[in-house]
Amino acid sequence: MKQEVMVLNDKEVKFEIREEQGLVEVFTDSRTIANVFDKQHKDLLKKIDNDVQLSYFKDERKISLVTYIDSKGESRPMYLLDRDAFSYFVMSFTGKKASQWKIEYIKAFNEMEKKLKEYQKSYLLEDPIERAKAWIKEQEEKRRIEQEKKQLEVKLDESLEYASIKKVFLNTGINHKWRDLKKKSEELSKEIKKVFDQNYGSVNTYRKDVWLSFSIDISKFSE
């Protein structure tokens, strides 16, 4: 099984590709779903655990329990879900943002499946010239995906340097005024960056130097 990554609205969406006896299937995982929809993974696991016994999921190809290694090096459970299983479990997610994410996620599923079909075709082409052309196209697509991953890595690095008022509040319980942060950013000549937020569309984030002026060290935050 191999992994492919796509970037949707600055969020990393992981897909697992399973190839068995000429059949290629696309899965996403419960950790990625929880992250994209701003859910607690443990809560999503409980919901899946409750419903996985339904006859709809008796086909093990739709959903399967696997493990991953967490930051402590410990083995933790997560589920792999195909498009049908994914659609079933996100149906209950409500709100405008959730609805938009459902659409974007399904589009990503479709695009990933389309790419895989195109990859398969190149190996089946009998004409060596056409096969070579198809292979070149595939390599270009792979490079594009790698570039998207690198761009995401840059964004993740920046997230360690910046924090929003919401993030600071969740980690400290202290609610700061944006006017004070804007003023301090201007005094220190630090850029204020906007990032996507599931609830508000976009929010301002302030550099760690600015937060240190308010005795907040964002490098110690857990998330």
Specify if 120 maps to a domain: no
The whole-number pLDDT of residue 182 equals 94
6/102 same-domain check = yes
81/176 same-domain check = no
- Listed as ranges, residues in the chain with pLDDT below 70 are 1, 8-10, 20-23, 55-60, 116-127, 130-131, 134-135, 138, 141-142, 145-146, 148-160, 196-201, 222-223
Specify if 121 maps to a domain: no
The whole-number pLDDT of residue 45 equals 93
pLDDT single digits (tens) 21-44? 656 788 999 999 998 888 999 999
Range of the domain at 189: 162-220
pTM of the model: 0.49
105/190 same-domain check = no
CA 215 to chain centre: 31
Specify if 139 maps to a domain: no
The whole-number pLDDT of residue 25 equals 82
Question: What gap in Å lies between CA 126 and CA 184, rounded to an integer?
Answer: 65
Specify if 103 maps to a domain: yes
96/186 same-domain check = no
Number of structural domains (the chain) is 2
The whole-number pLDDT of residue 18 equals 78
7/101 same-domain check = yes
**Cβ(171)–Cβ(161) below 8 Å:** no
106/34 same-domain check = yes
